[in-house]
Amino acid sequence: MTSAAAKQRIDQLTDQINHHNDLYYNKSKTEISDFEFDQLLEELTKLEAEFPALRLPDSPTQRVGGTITKEFASVVHQYPMLSLGNTYSPEELTDFDGRVAKGLEGEAYEYFCELKFDGVSISLIYENGLLTKAVTRGDGVRGDDVTTNIKTIRSLPLRIKAKDIPARFEVRGEVFLPKEVFKQLNKEREDIGEETYANARNTASGTVKMQDSAEVAKRKLDCFLYYLLGEDNEVETHSEAINKLERWGFNVSPTYKKCKSIQEVLDYIQTWEKKRHELPLETDGVVIKVNSLEQQELLGFTAKSPRWAIAYKYKAESISTRLNGITYQVGRTGAVTPVAELEPVFLAGTTVKRASLHNANEIARLDLHLGDYVFVEKGGEIIPKVTGVDLAKRNASVKKVIYIDHCPECNATLIRKEGEANHYCPNEKGCPPQIKGKVEHFIQRKAMDIDSLGEQTIRQLFELGLVKTPADLYYLTKDDLLRLDKVKEKSAQNMLDGITASKAQPFENVLFGIGIRYVGKTVAEKLAKHFKTMNNLRQATYEALLEAPEVGEKIAQSVVEYFKDADNLREVDRLVSAGLQFESNQQEPELVSSVLADKSFVISGVFQNYERDQLKDIILAHGGKVSSSVSGKLDYLLAGDNMGPAKREKAAKLGVKIISESEFEALLKG
């Protein structure tokens, strides 16, 4: 393909993908399937790899990430990002209104009310319609440049095509993790034996500063915009600015309201106090602004905050109820989670009977006694949690909670690894909830996707002694299934069909499904692509595993220990015999040139603009070869940051040329 033809096709694909992105994320509509969308994106990615000079700064491929950022550059804000004064009472809000009236000396004024979202403040700079910089709030004067990570937010326009945009303008908003995404993220972490995140706000903050933008893209951050700044915006009120942002295609929460008096503001606050729980993200208050920009300027600022705006914070709803007992849940990985059994109480829209206590450290911190009256809140309005003890109600007869030392399910002695907060049951092959949990993990959608089975079916199969490992599923007969409650011929056949269909799931799904601790979906995909076959993976050394993308010491050690276990090896062999996929079907990249023909590379370290998998694909696409170890026959050691010294020393000793990322890009250009 010629460069001109490639440019034409890249432009077409960019327009198509942007159109479908806008429909899906901003208008909740779809015109094509996910598969068709992915095909368009894959074609664009390949064309940009072949013709890197044609990659546009607002290309849709920026949404999927891939850039590695080792250090985030510090940026001084053109307009300081000041914090707002807070109030929790209507009386203080009325006092604020009095100060506004006095400052405006009798002028008529109105307010603009917006919900205060509990996320991460962000400043976006657009130049000639193009998003050029995204900066965190930082200390209000300077923040961090997180542009590559913010570009992964699908609802955020990378280019504004409206005719009335100024040459340069700034938009501010709040980056957040939707409630459902946060719940799913925690479920996945719990599933692979990782500690869960405490709240969505902190998780969003940590995500914005992750080094790998491809991982940021998978977190599915979102963003609401609420503030327009710049010299030539031609608006006289904040409400006009908001309308302009909506017209330009920005994601503005439709929960705002213009209010003519402080009483209308108070009515708005009351309306949303309960209603906000229905929103897809966390909120913790209301921001009230004087609507007129001229009046804002007249009122001015204090040293820390504007005099024309204030934040009304909703008090976290907390209630006291009796702690009736503590139960202990055992998860798939053996992690034991204590749960407070409470006297039922109505809190933030739902009846709460139970609340997580996290671990032994939390129980000790709270100094819990059975029969105590405890304060309960909903963390981020989502998860009930015990925040303290009402000591005024403590009875002298209550008994201090002593954390259990034996598994509540199988009576095995619990262990607690150094540096970890959780206790674990080590009896993974004999503890019922661990056994059932492993099978339930195996059949889930992201693994083998056997939707004809479910938690209750797995429980019955286990109790009947028919299934004790995932491999047992593939040796079930129809007669076995007919022994289950309420299962007839058709249901039994549907189950068998679902089990048979799962044999077509790709290697990475099988690898995720077998449940190696710390090997989540992303790591399973990386391992499958890197090692190609299960046989290669099971023979891999600790050092070889560390060479794979996304694999650190903890994951490498876990994989090594998994394949040292004879029972695990027998389980894998039974799955092989059952006909599951144990070879990667990921295609090698098509040959686009021979500029690296007969040249061999070892890739090591972390790179600014590429993941190691991407570099491998680029080398293969241009006729080169990729090796895993340094030898005298090697042509190049492609060295990134944090590369191990042993490889560099060996390469230098053998006379192998060590090249940087920029030198590699020069090689590609011939």
CB 112 within 8 A of CB 256: yes
Q: DSSP for 373-411?
A: EEEEEEETTTEEEEEEE-GGG--TT-EE----SB-TTT-
Q: Roughly what angle, to the nearest 10 degrees, separates helices 566-578 and 553-564? A: 80
Strand partners, 226: none
Which amino acid type is present at position 485?
D
State how far the Cα of 116 lies from the Cα of 269, in Å rounded to an integer.
11
CA torsion, ordered 142, 143, 144, 147, to nearest 10 deg: -110
State how far the Cα of 509 lies from the Cα of 447, in Å rounded to an integer.
5
What phi, psi does 619 have (nearest 5°)? -60, -45
Strand partners, 625: 600
Taking residue 390's Cβ as centre, other Cβ atoms within 10 Å add up to 13
Question: ∠ CA 137-251-313 to the nearest 5 degrees?
Answer: 55
Strand partners, 86: 311
Q: 451-454: list long-range contacts, CB under 8 Å, 24+ apart.
A: 451/498, 452/494, 452/495, 452/497, 452/498, 452/499, 453/495, 453/498, 453/499
350 class by beta-carbon count within 10 Å (0-12 exposed, 13-18 middle, 19+ buried): exposed
State how far the Cα of 403 lies from the Cα of 327, in Å rounded to an integer.
10
E strands, 272-349, in order: 283-290, 309-313, 319-330, 335-347
Known active-site residue 27: no
Maximum Cα–Cα distance across the chain: 86
> Which of 7, 116, 183, 274 is labelled catalytic?
116
Residue partners of 211: CB distance under 8 A and separation at least 6:
68, 69, 70, 606
> Which of 185, 222, 218, 182 lies closest to 199 in space, CA to CA?
182
**Residue whose token pair is 């979102």:** 222
* Cα radius of gyration rounded to whole Å, the chain: 29
Q: Can you say whether residue 564 is alpha, beta or left, with left for phi > 0 and alpha for psi between -120 and 50 degrees? A: alpha
CB 488 within 8 A of CB 446: no
Name the residues annotated as catalytic. Answer: 116
